[in-house]
Each structure stands twice: as C-alpha cells, then as structure tokens.
Amino acid sequence: MKRIVCAVLLLFMLLPAAGAVSAKSAIVLDALTGAVYFEQNADEQLPMASTTKIMTAVVTLENGDLDREYEVKREYTLVEGTSMSLREGETLTIHDTLWGLLMLSGNDAALALAGEGGGADNFVAKMNAKARELGLENTHFDNPHGLDSATHYTTARELAILAAYAMKNETFREIVSTVSHTAAGRDMANHNKMLVNYEGGCGVKTGYTRRAGRCLVSAAERGGRLLIVVTLNDPDDWNDHAELLDLGFSRFTETTLQTAGDEVGACTVYGGLPEVLPLLAGETLTAMLADGEQPRVSLSGRRFTYAPIFNSAYFGQIEYRIGDAVIARGNVAYGGDAARQPERLTLWERLMQFLFG
C-alpha cells in the first residue's frame, strides 16, 4: 500500500503545473498596458537565437535613411546559418535588407545592416544602449544575428517588452505581419506560421540554434488589443503560442463604450438661443477591455461655437484612451438647433424707440 501511495505522489510531482507550457521560459504581455497574463520562468537569462533581429531592426529603423543604397561587402556574406543570399558586389537598399532580415531571418542581412549602420562593433554597442534605454537590465547582445555567444542573452519578459516597443514602428510592423513579399529581386516567405494559423496574428519573429532551442515571439491583435507572447527553448512553440494567446484574449470582454445618440458632453453657443447645446455620439463604439480597465474620455472640436447651429451638424471627435493609446474614436454632433439671439439695442436706441415708436 505504501508503495502505491508513493508512486501516486511521485506521479503528481512529475506532472507540469496547471497551465504550464513546454517552454523553458514564457510570458504573455499586453502591449497596451504592460499587464502580464501568464509567466513561466520569465526572468531567467537565456539565449534568444534569431529573435535578436528584433533589436537589429529597431536600431536600423531608428538610424534612419532606409532608402540609402549600399554595395554588399564580402564580409557580410561570410556567416553561417539562415541567409537572404546576399552576393558580394550587388547593390540594394537598407529597406530591402530589412525585409531579408525579418522575413528570411538572414544572418548575412544582419551583418550588412550592422556594417552599414556604423560598423559591427559600434552597431552592437547601439543595440546594448537601446536595451538600457528600454530598461532591459537582463539583456545583452554580442552580435546582430543571434548566433550563440557566451554573453548573448535575454529573458522572456524583456524580449516581450522589446517586441511591444518594436511593434509601434509602422515599418517594422508592416514587415513582420507580411506573409510573402518580393524585395531586392527575391521572393520571401515569412517563417512565422502564426500569421496564417492564428486569428489576428500580426508578428513577430522566429529563432533557433542548437543551444537556444526553438525561440518564438508572436503577436496577435483583436478588437484593438495587441498581445505579445514569448517562449524561449520551446519544442512545442506553435501550439503553446496558440494556447497562450487564447488565454490572453480570454481576459478581455467586448464592452460598449457609447451608443449612437448618447449625450457625451455639452457646448456653449455664443450669441445663441439656447446658449448651451448637448453633444451627441455619432456612432456606437466598442472596445476589448480587461477587468477593471476604465478608459479616459476626451472631446476635441471647435474652440468657440457661434450661432446659428443646426441639429446634427459636426462638432468634433471623441476619443477613448488607455494610457497613451487610443482604443476607440468617433464623431460628435450638436444635439439641437441654436438660433442667433436678437441684436440688443443701445440705451439711446431704446430711448428713440420709446419716444418715436
């Protein structure tokens, strides 16, 4: 009997914790608020493989001059692993090289961007400086491509923060959300299966080395809410990311912010009768909100309103915000008519009117 009890206890000890995933490290981050909806060893320093290229892209984008052309140097082509097949002496733009970096995960593209971005050592120094600027204290880069190196590491939490930051850049987001593209004479297919296998999938980067294992940063957006999922060293990353994104989105409820015709404010009408008119919502607005979230509401419109005003005329806009992000925006109209007040007579005019009719 004791043997049976011990065996059962041992079995329960070996079972993964409820909700655990197969990753060594994982996190689900709300890109809008920074809220964490799931974490598993999220602060453990681990190698990140080609997810490194998120930072490579960020530094390149913030260096600017994406349309600049350059000639490929031989040193850019002398790197192992995934490649966009750069050829010594060919000419292409920084922008096209970014496509090869993020869609084809080209290690040669990473070297080219670093070389053209001030030289490899200077570029990596910029990557580490950007990490410090973003508060990523447990992240360090030795190179722009992510091949294994002793002091090249991050954490799931900090990689998620970096990805959320990168997704604010329109060019970055366009590239990582694209399934297929042609640039620099190359047909490119995105390695990220979440773009087609998960509803709302919109990024961001895959990675693998023998030491790092399978690394994946994914993003999905629904109802204006963007979630970032990171797993490091995860043999079942595609399935884990689908489950973790589902878990994250389960935290949101579609909420009606306003209904068309709701009174959302009031406006003083100078020289009008009446002197104050209600302001009405032009349409129904909804948003995905987590428990306890209270959007901040702001109205913008005419600084001064003068009579006459006609019912339903356009006044301006209403915005609902969480933090600095606008989660919904709509039109606002005047909720009534305001005629121009009769002109007031001066004392002399009233006296003349009294005396002479």
Burial group, residue 278, by CB count within 10 angstroms (0-12, 13-18, 19+): middle
Alpha helices, H only, the chain: 2-14, 53-63, 74-77, 94-103, 107-116, 120-133, 156-166, 170-176, 194-197, 237-249, 347-356
89: tokens are: 């002496």
Query: At CB < 8 A and 24+ separation, what contacts does 194-203 make?
Result: 194/218, 194/220, 194/238, 194/241, 194/242, 197/238, 197/242, 198/241, 198/242, 198/245, 201/177, 202/167, 202/173, 202/176, 202/177, 202/226, 203/163, 203/167, 203/173, 203/176, 203/177
Q: 146 near 152, Cβ under 8 Å?
A: yes
Which residue reads 């995960």 in tokens? 105
Contact 42, 27 (CB under 8 A): yes
Q: What is the DSSP letter of 184?
A: T
Burial class of residue 331 (count of CB atoms within 10 Å of its CB; 0-12, 13-18, 19+) = middle
Label residue 112 exposed, middle or buried (CB < 10 Å: 0-12, 13-18, 19+): buried
**Sign of the alpha-carbon dihedral angle for 299, 305, 311, 315:** negative
Three-state DSSP class for residue 202: strand
Place of tokens 């080609």: 50
Give me the active site residues, please.
50, 53, 105
Of 96, 98, 106, 11, whose CA–CA distance to 50 is shortest? 106
Q: What angle do CA 206, 210, 211 make, to 5 degrees?
A: 95
